[in-house]
């Protein structure tokens, strides 16, 4: 019964992650050093999964990048590097409770700035490096996807389509009407049409004209700028902004899974983000403005407990499979108002969780069903983010999506990989991987913000 009494002490997920990190740093293996030079795991000593995953050649010299995941519940900083052998090492990782965000959007700049500063400084200390630029994730209900096409005449049809032609076609597709209040975050080429029909890569094909089909991902200008502003006020520079479900996908999916087609659902605190991958490319991305915090809120109201106890109950005793819990299984929890002990049924707790998580997953499913890609995600559904840790989440998702489901977590890393391999860090790890493997030039960044006109013609182009 003692186990059932909720102990009032710090037990937020971020605290758990931190203590696990501290344990790593204090372990005899590391000798309590603050630099992240943990023994390389067997998996990490093989050719890096991350290189394999990205399908990109490693750089000629070691490069380092920092990912900043400004989440609704935690702000996490991950410093990673890739060496010429393609080994991806996490040098520093930190997580600090997030203040100042609501449903993925900055609502209190000062609070956000201070959380960002704390998170980056902690990671800098661990990695023993000074961070200047960060790659930042973006999510929130303001994110939208738009399918666009752009057609151009091929400059020299006999010589075949060149990269310059491809660039012009993509740029043309990206210059369609996007309102002044929205900013293009990504331009994701889907496929190309030449005179003879559709091709994945038109380079070298003889054709009179070329059409690019692209997926534009746009965000509210104000939301994107507030992120950049918060990072700048914390005295760092935004090297690029990257859509969070795409970042998470990069960290957790293998090329086979992307090729086969999967739906990635990142269940965070304030939002649940989704990305549909088909034939190796991302075809659709969207955000449902509810996450694990809505579950906690339902528990708080349903059981009349404090927010703190509701969160604890959810993580320690929660499940989304009420039918698997005996009806006599009871918990002792203090009533928020009086402090008196009350008995609550674990099955009832599970019913609350099942109901809200089920509702969130159904909203994700509905969004997927409205796209032509839903039926082509043959692989199934990959859950990630803190909400995926809810006991029974895979079974519930399998019931709702009626296809195979699993939890996706970052793999194939060395260094602080034991900490970074939690689904909570999928976005942060994905941001670092993006920095390590992709060209920065095309990201919507701080510099670009001041060069909107130039940016207008050099729309963000991501190659997968």
Ligand X SMILES: Nc1ncnc2c1ncn2[C@@H]1O[C@H](COP(=O)(O)OP(=O)(O)OP(=O)(O)O)[C@@H](O)[C@H]1O
The residues binding Mg ion (CB under 5 A) are 71, 268, 427
Helix (H) or strand (E) holding 177: none
- In the complex, the smallest distance separating the C-beta of residue 244 from Mg ion, rounded to whole angstroms, is 6
- In the complex, the smallest distance separating the C-beta of residue 1 from ligand X, rounded to whole angstroms, is 22
Rounded distance, CA 116 to CA 76, Å?
A: 8
Using CB under 6 A as the binding rule, the residues of this chain from 104 to 143 that contact ligand X are 104, 139
Give the total of residues touching ligand X (CB under 6 A).
26
* Contact of 276 with 265, CB cutoff 8 Å: no
- In the complex, the smallest distance separating the C-beta of residue 258 from ligand X, rounded to whole angstroms, is 21
Residue 455's binding partner, choosing from ligand X, Mg ion, none, with beta-carbon cut-off 5 to 8 A by kind? none
User: Which residue, 274 or 424, has its beta carbon nearer to ligand X?
Assistant: 424
Interface mask toward ligand X for 138-167; x: CB under 6 A: -x----------------------------
Using CB under 6 A as the binding rule, the residues of this chain from 267 to 306 that contact ligand X are 268-271, 291-293, 296
Tell me if residue 7 falls in helix, strand or coil. Answer: coil
User: Which residue, 265 or 443, has its beta carbon nearer to Mg ion?
Assistant: 265
Name every residue whose Cβ is closer than 8 Å to that of residue 452 and which is 6 or more positions away in sequence: none
Residue 314's binding partner, choosing from Mg ion, ligand X, none, with beta-carbon cut-off 5 to 8 A by kind? ligand X
* Contact of 388 with 425, CB cutoff 8 Å: no
- In the complex, the smallest distance separating the C-beta of residue 42 from ligand X, rounded to whole angstroms, is 27
If you compute the radius of gyration of the chain from its CA atoms, what whole number of angstroms results? 23
Q: Is 311 in the site for ligand X (CB under 6 A)?
A: yes
* Contact of 266 with 274, CB cutoff 8 Å: yes
Q: Is 424 in the site for ligand X (CB under 6 A)?
A: yes
For the chain, report the end-to-end CA distance as a whole number of angstroms: 53
Distance of CA 358 to the CA centre of its chain: 21
- In the complex, the smallest distance separating the C-beta of residue 159 from ligand X, rounded to whole angstroms, is 47
* Contact of 76 with 399, CB cutoff 8 Å: no
User: Which residue, 58 or 104, has its beta carbon nearer to ligand X?
Assistant: 104
Interface mask toward ligand X for 8-37; x: CB under 6 A: -----x------------------------
User: Which residue, 190 or 238, has its beta carbon nearer to ligand X?
Assistant: 238
Helix (H) or strand (E) holding 190: strand 182-194
Interface mask toward ligand X for 30-69; x: CB under 6 A: ----------------------------------------
Q: Which residue is nearest to Mg ion (CB)?
A: 268
CA distances to 102, 107, 172, 194, 277 from 223, in Å:
12, 9, 25, 38, 26
Q: Is 80 in the site for ligand X (CB under 6 A)?
A: no
User: Which residue, 88 or 271, has its beta carbon nearer to ligand X?
Assistant: 271
| Backbone dihedral angles phi then psi of residue 278, each to the nearest 5 degrees | -140, 135
- In the complex, the smallest distance separating the C-beta of residue 297 from ligand X, rounded to whole angstroms, is 10
Give the pairing of strands 74-82 and 405-407: unpaired
- Determine which residue in the list 48, 66, 72, 312 makes contact with ligand X, applying CB under 6 A: 72
User: Which residue, 14 or 461, has its beta carbon nearer to ligand X?
Assistant: 14
User: Which residue, 248 or 448, has its beta carbon nearer to Mg ion?
Assistant: 248
Rounded distance, CA 252 to CA 412, Å?
A: 10
Burial tier of 14 (Cβ tally within 10 Å: 0-12, 13-18, 19+): buried
Going by C-alpha positions, the residue among 97, 119, 125, 130 that lies closest to residue 25 is 125
Rounded distance, CA 117 to CA 136, Å?
A: 13
Q: What residues line the site for ligand X (CB under 6 A)?
A: 13, 71-74, 98, 104, 139, 268-271, 291-293, 296, 311, 314-315, 318, 385-387, 389-390, 424
């Amino acid at each position: 019964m003692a186990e059932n009494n909720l102990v009032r002490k710090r037990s937020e997920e971020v605290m758990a992650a931190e203590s696990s990190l501290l344990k790593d740093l204090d372990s005899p293996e590391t000798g309590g050093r603050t630099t992240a030079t943990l023994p390389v795991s067997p998996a990490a000593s093989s050719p890096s999964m991350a290189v394999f995953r990205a399908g990109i050649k490693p750089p000629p010299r070691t490069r380092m990048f920092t990912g900043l995941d400004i989440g609704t519940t935690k702000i996490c900083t991950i410093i990673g590097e890739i060496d010429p052998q393609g080994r991806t090492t996490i040098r520093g990782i930190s997580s600090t409770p997030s203040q100042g965000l609501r449903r993925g959007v900055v609502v209190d700049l000062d609070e956000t700035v201070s959380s960002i500063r704390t998170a980056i400084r902690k990671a800098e200390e661990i990695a023993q490096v000074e961070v200047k630029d960060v790659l930042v994730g973006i999510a929130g209900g303001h994110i939208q996807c738009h399918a666009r096409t752009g057609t151009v005449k091929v400059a020299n049809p006999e010589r075949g389509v060149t990269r310059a032609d491809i660039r012009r076609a993509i740029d043309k597709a990206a210059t369609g009407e996007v309102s002044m209040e929205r900013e293009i975050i990504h331009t994701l080429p889907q496929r190309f049409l030449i005179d003879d029909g559709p091709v994945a890569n038109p380079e070298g094909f003889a054709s009179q004209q070329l059409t690019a089909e692209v997926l534009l991902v746009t965000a509210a200008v104000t939301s994107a700028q507030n992120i950049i502003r918060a990072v700048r006020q914390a005295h760092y520079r935004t090297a690029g902004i990257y859509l969070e479900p795409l970042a998470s996908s990069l960290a957790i999916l293998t090329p086979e899974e992307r090729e086969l087609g999967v739906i990635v659902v990142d269940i965070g605190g304030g939002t649940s983000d989704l990305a549909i991958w088909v034939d190796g490319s991302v075809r659709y991305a969207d955000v449902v403005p509810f996450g694990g915090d809505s579950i906690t809120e339902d528990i708080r109201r349903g059981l009349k407990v404090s927010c703190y106890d509701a969160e604890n109950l959810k993580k320690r005793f929660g499940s989304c499979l009420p039918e698997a819990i005996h009806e006599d299984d009871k918990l002792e929890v203090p009533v928020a108002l009086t402090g008196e002990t009350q008995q609550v049924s674990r099955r009832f707790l599970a019913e609350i969780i099942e109901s809200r998580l089920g509702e969130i997953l159904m909203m994700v499913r509905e969004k997927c069903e409205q796209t032509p890609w839903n039926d082509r995600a043959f692989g199934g559904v990959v859950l990630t983010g803190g909400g995926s840790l809810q006991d029974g989440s895979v079974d519930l998702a399998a019931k709702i999506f009626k296809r195979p489901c699993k939890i996706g977590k970052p793999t194939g890393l060395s260094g602080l990989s034991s900490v970074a391999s939690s689904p909570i860090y999928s976005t942060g790890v994905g941001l670092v991987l993006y920095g390590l493997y992709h060209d920065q030039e095309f990201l919507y960044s701080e510099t670009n913000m001041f060069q909107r006109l130039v940016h207008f013609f050099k729309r963000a182009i991501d190659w997968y």
